[in-house]
Amino acid sequence: MAKVLSGAGLRGQVAGKTALSTVGVSGSGLTYRGYDVKDLADKCEFEEVAHLILEGDLPNETQLRDYKASLKSMRGLPQALKDVLERIPSDAHPMDVLRTGCSMLGNLEMEHSFEQQSQVTDRMLACFPSIICYWYRFSHDGVRIDVETDDDSIGAHFLHLLHGKKPSALFEKVMHVSLILYAEHEFNASTFTARVCASTLSDMHSCITGAIGSLRGPLHGGANEAAMELIESFTSPEHAEEEMMGKLARKEKIMGFGHAIYSDSDPRNAIIKHWSEKLSHEVGDTVLYPVSVRCEEVMWREKKLFCNADFFHASAYNFMQIPTKLFTPIFVMSRLTGWAAHVMEQRADNRIIRPSAEYTGEDIREVPAMDERA
């Protein structure tokens, strides 16, 4: 008989092996292929980290230049994909837009062989910002944008498409940091979804579409959106403390705090908090950042709950004038690297992932005649 794993949601159970990242088991709490995420966020651009995760090594100067040039060349969208995006209503969930966009891309540009997996991944990495911004600008502003910018980075490309102008150096830097922090996180729900799909030898687009579907759920993705909804409702730090205490007294769930793996702190939080503060000074904010800090203080004082990576991302994105509904799609633009690398890792040493279940239903019984049924 199969061994029954205890614990809701298989939390704490080892479900496989990976060489891509450590979560909560090293000095920093998070590493990508042996590099501390704090070191990567301080010294690298996102494209360097994407190369590291997908190819196994940090690129040298020539490799990085060539990698960026390759990604730049793949930002355009097929007309058939644009036609689909134009038919998605403005009130659609942006994660559904990305899910549909990824799936449609897989119909138009199929992965015929696993030998194409790196090219297929780079194509998605290059054009996901184009997909979400093309839909957003058409459905909300009524304009058909040119998605092939000459921006040097994926983060700058996204902001350029969204705002119709090149971002400042500070905004581009913060996007690099944000995308690095979200790039990979071991066997979380969406990554495990991608690996399960990969274990059936399915194509890369199907694996990534499935991962997007898992991230779509509010218990996995969307915490930064919920954090934004929370902090923008407060008018001052004092107001924030009063309302937070009320929520705690009513035992309401407050998103953006605590983590399934980390026990004392999320190593990503201090990094994005630092950049949120810098942005607040840059844009002249006097409310949102102080409110966020007070919320952090209250939750730690009252519940010993720390901010996870999502909480200060909310104010950081808001300072860069990113609509709240696009927060989680940015996560997709980043985590695509981790998802795809896990798919590649699964394919390289594959056995189909097929766990057993503990049956809790009726004992064996006979089928009654129709006239004997209640």
The residue from 93, 163, 220, 239 that is catalytic is: 220
Q: What percent of the chain has pLDDT over 90?
A: 85
Distance CA 101, CA 116 (A): 19
The chain-wide mean pLDDT, for the chain, equals 94
Instruction: Reply yes or no on whether the pLDDT at 9 is more than 90.
Output: no
Tokens of 219: 């218990």
Per-residue pLDDT, 259 = 73
Per-residue pLDDT, 264 = 78
| 122 carries an active-site annotation | no
Is there a domain that residue 171 lies in? Answer: yes
Is there a domain that residue 14 lies in? Answer: no
58 and 130 share one domain: yes
- Helix H segments across the chain? 37-43, 46-55, 61-72, 79-86, 94-108, 117-141, 154-163, 169-181, 189-199, 204-216, 223-231, 237-249, 267-283, 288-303, 311-319, 327-348
Are 169 and 135 within 8 A, CB to CB?
no
Per-residue pLDDT, 26 = 52
49 and 89 share one domain: yes
pLDDT band, very low/low/confident/very high, at 25 (cuts 50, 70, 90): low
Residue that wins the pLDDT comparison between 23 and 236? 236
pLDDT band, very low/low/confident/very high, at 28 (cuts 50, 70, 90): low
Is there a domain that residue 1 lies in? Answer: no
pLDDT band, very low/low/confident/very high, at 329 (cuts 50, 70, 90): very high
176 and 99 share one domain: yes
Produce one character per residue of 15-39: b if its CB has 16 or more CB atoms within 10 Å, e if not. Answer: eeebebbbbbeeeebbbbbebbbbe
What value does the mean pLDDT take over residues 286-301?
96
Is there a domain that residue 9 lies in? Answer: no
Report the C-alpha dihedral over residues 305, 7, 183, 224, rounded to 10 degrees: -40
36 and 75 share one domain: yes
271 and 239 share one domain: yes
Tokens of 24: 């909560």
3-state class (DSSP) for residue 128: helix
Residue with tokens 């030898």: 201
Distance CA 338, CA 74 (A): 20
pTM for the complete prediction?
0.93
Amino acid letter, 304: K
Distance CA 120, CA 146 (A): 22
The residue from 151, 266, 285, 310 that is catalytic is: 310
What value does the mean pLDDT take over residues 233-249?
96
Instruction: Reply yes or no on whether the pLDDT at 102 is more than 60.
Output: yes
Distance of CA 222 to the CA centre of its chain: 9
Per-residue pLDDT, 24 = 74
Number of domains comprising the chain: 2
| 259 carries an active-site annotation | yes
The residue from 51, 160, 185, 259 that is catalytic is: 259
pLDDT band, very low/low/confident/very high, at 2 (cuts 50, 70, 90): very low
Instruction: Provide the residue range defining the domain that includes 231.
Output: 223-319
pLDDT band, very low/low/confident/very high, at 3 (cuts 50, 70, 90): very low
